[in-house]
């Protein structure tokens, strides 16, 4: 009995020390980030600083042979990441989307859906061919596609913080941020689809892969949108916005995102996809049904939780990278993977930009320097790392360990090197210094136009079938915007949610988030 009491006391003490160290690292990260911003030191962005703090403390813990029970508190558990850290970050990403993001929604969807799918396939095929040519460690084809899916998850939080500090073009910021928001959801859906195909060899044909992916993605999206609509109707008719029920109003609002997440997970769908679309719908419809004080509270609350979770993710990841046992015997796999990822990112960005520019008028086209900035912004982060950790359980014979090691190296290199050189890249491409109000066609054309341009501004058709299909999609999107304005918004809201967006100058100061608002990926 005495021994059990002693063990329990030791475990409690270890828990206290572990949590204390985590809080200290969070405090250090926020203070260091503030100093870096004030000193305008862009070679070490906040996310990179948080990762380095985790790496440093993890290395010291290894050297000093820190007690195992304390170190256990820092192990990166993908379940903890997906259940507690990622949901508030992803919800805030959807909840904080502003008009410039929706004005570029067609382009964002093109990059995030088609582009991510293309990048994952290109990466997987190149890795497989590299193995066949004995350039790198050989993996089965489906496992190469799984690696391509998980490594296609981008996390440009480092780049976005520098975009805001330097004041880059608002449309470029919208494209990078918007792509990263949907990209995470797409990457998870692709990885899970490939994982199912791996575990059920009879389903290894292209048609079944597409069906499984659509089942996961569309089902999750529908679940999230449905929960968002239910919340809007509840807050519209429940009359919670009276003074003495504002606490209840805020509590219910905070619970709906997790309800959406757990519902999707319980149905075997993707909670991340679901909570992302719940965030979009709740901001567009439910938010305007809240009282003013509740609006201020929930906005501040989700921003706070997202910021804490995001910073902790990078610290958590850095510590685990230092503590994890990695297999460095396949250096060629790491080296060529980095090259192939760059090629796949180029295929993603430049092909999608070509499709977008195909139907945009000259003044709305994505210029080459923005395309290069988009290509450079494809950093990898915690999402790729978490999926790589999961691959250890999904893949046999040490293949998952090889993927984890390669992913770890890619995450560290992209966050530290590419993230640190972003400021130099932006200045070289001459896309900085645009933080003044922008009077652009984007602003004037946003009304009644969520995708590309309004039908009245279309360029004459060249007869190209692809272009005609894209223009057809554009008209459908414009029609949906009209339906939303005339039917959905009046039905789901008690007031016009667009009122507060009127006469707001289009600048990076009001288009989106502070530095920690997106995880990134």
Domain ranges of the chain: 2-444
Tell me what pLDDT residue 98 has.
Answer: 73
**pLDDT digits (tens), the chain, 521 positions:** 555 566 778 778 888 888 898 899 999 999 999 999 898 888 888 889 999 999 999 888 888 776 777 777 777 778 888 899 999 999 998 998 876 777 788 899 999 999 999 999 999 999 999 999 999 999 999 999 999 999 999 887 778 888 887 778 888 888 998 888 889 889 999 998 888 888 876 655 677 778 888 888 999 999 999 999 999 999 999 887 676 688 899 999 999 999 999 999 999 899 999 999 999 999 999 999 999 999 999 999 999 999 999 999 999 889 888 887 777 778 899 999 999 999 999 999 999 999 999 988 888 899 999 999 999 988 888 889 989 989 988 887 789 989 999 999 999 999 999 888 888 888 888 887 654 433 333 333 333 333 333 333 444 444 466 666 555 655 555 666 778 788 888 999 886 444 444 433 444 444 444 444 444 43
Tell me what pLDDT residue 2 has.
Answer: 52
CB atoms within 10 A of CB 443: 17
Angle at 254 between CA 89 and CA 512, to 5 degrees: 45
Tell me what pLDDT residue 434 has.
Answer: 53
- Overall size of the chain counted in residues: 521
User: CB–CB of 422/162 below 8 Å?
Assistant: yes
SS3 380: strand
483 burial (CB, 10 Å; 0-12 / 13-18 / 19+) is exposed
Tell me what pLDDT residue 219 has.
Answer: 94
Tell me what pLDDT residue 502 has.
Answer: 41
Residue-wise pLDDT for 436-461, tens only, equals 433 333 333 333 333 333 333 444 44
Q: Which helix (H) or strand (E) holds 404?
A: helix 399-413
Structure tokens given for 416: 């530290």
Tell me what pLDDT residue 360 has.
Answer: 84
Between CA 186 and CA 143 the distance in angstroms is: 18
Between CA 249 and CA 289 the distance in angstroms is: 10
CATH topology of domain 2-444: Na+/H+ antiporter like fold (1.20.1530)
Q: Quickly list H helices, 64-169.
A: 68-71, 78-80, 86-95, 99-103, 105-109, 116-132, 141-151, 157-166
Query: Structure pTM?
Result: 0.81
Between CA 358 and CA 140 the distance in angstroms is: 37
């Amino acid at each position: 009995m005495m021994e059990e009491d002693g063990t329990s006391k030791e475990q409690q003490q270890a828990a206290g020390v572990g949590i204390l160290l985590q809080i200290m690292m969070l405090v250090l990260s926020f203070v260091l980030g503030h100093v870096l911003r004030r000193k305008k030191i862009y070679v070490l962005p906040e996310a990179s600083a948080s990762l380095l703090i985790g790496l440093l403390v993890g290395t010291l813990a290894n050297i000093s042979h820190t007690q195992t029970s304390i170190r256990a508190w820092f192990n990166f558990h993908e379940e903890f990441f997906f259940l507690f850290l990622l949901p508030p970050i992803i919800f805030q990403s959807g909840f904080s989307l502003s008009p410039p993001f929706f004005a570029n929604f067609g382009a964002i969807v093109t990059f995030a859906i088609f582009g991510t799918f293309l990048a994952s396939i290109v990466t997987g095929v190149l890795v497989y061919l590299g193995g066949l040519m004995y350039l790198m460690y050989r993996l089965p084809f489906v496992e190469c596609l799984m690696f391509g899916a998980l490594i296609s998850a981008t996390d440009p939080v480092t780049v976005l913080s520098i975009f805001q500090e330097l004041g880059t073009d608002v449309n470029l910021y919208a494209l990078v941020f918007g792509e990263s928001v949907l990209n995470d959801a797409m990457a998870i859906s692709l990885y899970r689809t490939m994982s199912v195909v791996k575990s059920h060899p009879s389903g290894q044909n292209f048609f079944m892969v597409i069906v499984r992916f659509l089942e996961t993605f569309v089902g999750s999206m529908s679940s999230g949108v449905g929960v968002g609509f239910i919340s809007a109707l509840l807050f519209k008719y429940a009359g919670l916005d009276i003074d003495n029920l504002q606490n209840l109003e805020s509590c219910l609002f905070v619970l709906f995102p997790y309800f959406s997440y757990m519902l999707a997970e319980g149905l075997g769908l993707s909670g991340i996809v679901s909570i992302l679309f719940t965030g979009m719908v709740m901001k567009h419809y439910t938010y305007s049904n809240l009282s003013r004080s509740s609006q201020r509270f929930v906005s501040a609350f989700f921003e706070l939780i997202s910021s804490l979770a995001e910073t902790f993710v990078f610290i958590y990841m850095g510590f685990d990278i230092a503590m994890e046992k990695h297999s460095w015997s396949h250096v060629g796999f790491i080296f060529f993977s980095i090259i192939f990822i760059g090629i796949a990112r180029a295929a993603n960005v430049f092909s999608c930009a070509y499709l977008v520019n195909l139907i945009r008028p000259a003044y709305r086209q994505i210029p080459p320097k923005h395309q290069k900035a988009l290509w450079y912004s494809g950093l990898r982060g915690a999402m790729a790392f978490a999926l790589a950790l999961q691959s250890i359980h999904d893949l046999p014979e040490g293949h998952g360990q090889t993927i984890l090691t390669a992913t770890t190296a890619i995450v560290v290199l992209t966050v530290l090197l590419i993230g640190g050189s972003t400021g130099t890249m932006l200045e070289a491409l001459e896309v900085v210094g645009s933080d003044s109000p922008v009077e652009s066609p984007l602003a004037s054309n946003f009304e009644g136009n969520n995708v590309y341009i309004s039908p009245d501004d279309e360029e004459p058709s060249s007869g190209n079938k692809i272009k005609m299909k894209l223009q057809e999609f554009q008209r459908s999107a414009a029609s949906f915007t009209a339906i939303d304005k005339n039917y959905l918004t009046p039905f789901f809201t008690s007031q016009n949610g667009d009122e507060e967006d009127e006469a707001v100058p289009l600048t990076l100061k009001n288009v989106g988030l502070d530095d920690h608002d997106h995880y990134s990926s």
